[in-house]
Structure 1
Amino acid sequence: MSHIHKILQSLNFSPVETEIYLILAENEKLNVSAIIEKTQKSRTAVHTALNALLAKDFILYEKVGREAFYSLAHPHKLYGLLEEKKLDDARQYEDVSSAINSLVGSYQLTQNKPGVRFFEGIDGIMEVINDSLKAKGEILTYLDVEATQAYISKENKEYVQKRLELGIHKRMIAPDTDMTRERYRNYNPNIEVRLMPAHIKPFHTSVQIYNNSISFSTIQEEKMIGILIEDANIAQLHKSVFEFVWESLPPLTYDDAI
């Protein structure tokens, strides 16, 4: 959440307030001791930040017996800061709105609802793609190879290197194009590739399925949008569909690729 960290500080969150806010965004509720342990900040600094966040209604307070617990208020409350700052720059407004939408996804997860987060720009797209490096098993992928090579080739090379270092296996389905066949002619064996029939219209949104997550990345010159969904049932649906499609396609061999 590094880009969200910067956005919050641009909205006048202190560094400690920012850290605590993002921690609460990923946890249902925490007591002060747990927050101190996660932040490694002093009790005084934590209490000061909590009181500031409470005063702005960005977090909630609950007393259970003798213990106090803190949780995140709905991130839509941050829109009030946009009105206060009266952002004239449309791009800056979009960046803040995108960050709030991402926080809503994390918040929903703590409420046992599907978490949906939105990202924009190359940095946002790479945050979505790099999330798959958390995969505990293989990654299942539908890839728009041409868009990846045209717009994020350098960033993708770094991602692939990290994936190989982590030993994460990938199975990929891609449109049948000359570029795809050439690219995977002598590719690293830690990926298996199968191609959609050439008569099927190519898709332009890449998908990655892993753990209980699925991400969508649309990479075009006029827009770059990423969506990350965390939900076991939604992920399993797409895993099952992927397996059905995978089994219907022949393996891509080196001879085929040439």
Structure 2
Amino acid sequence: MIQQAFEMLGLTPKETQLYQTLLKLGPSSIRDIAEHSGINRGTAYESLKQLQTKGIVSYFPKGKRRFFTAENPDILLNLAEEKRSRLNKTIENLKNTIIPNLHQQQPDYHQTHVRYYEGDDGIEWVLRDILNVVSQQDHKEYCVFSSKPIRPFLYRPFPNYTKQRVKLGINVKVIALGDGGEEAELSERKWIKTEGSVDASYIAIYPPKCAIISLASNNFPSAVVLESKDIAKAQQIIFDTLWKML
């Protein structure tokens, strides 16, 4: 856990070891540092220079030798805050400038990207993709066709899905095929009566994507995600038209 935290701050295992050694020793020569850390003098000296650049270690001359000293551990929190600040700025640049510019550079061939997913892990990925895509839109809403047989298996890999959806402020409209289905916050539901059994299926429309989830033999879940503005728009028109009729 400690090494992982240091790595997040950009320190190598050797740099971490040297810093902790210096904290224990106090101001020390390169020879003493190398001896107590078990790192050879050449490598230790180069690593100490890196630590000095990062502001974690400093040195002072004593006679003809340099003595190194570790800065107060509180400096690590300052480093983490600086790193978080830079990361937040990078995220804002990605959202507002870099990604929009990259999208403009991408030719629009109206191609359909198709991805296949299987098993509980695959279904969880699709459900998370729905939340990720819709949460970034101005109008946070998606639409669903859902049949009764798939419901026990749909949220099995992601049991707190609805709670996450509500937390993100995402609305959902559901056209249920057959009876059943639970009312939930930020959701609207209408029903289509069916005669006889209905196959297990779930279709989510969240432009520019559509996800189709079904069950194979032995109730093994699989999904297809289509990424196409044209297909998503057509599916949305079908859903909206049917919704108004119900």
What TM-score comes out, normalization by structure 1 length?
0.47
Q: Which of 1 and 2 has greater Rg?
A: 2
What TM-score comes out, normalization by structure 2 length?
0.50
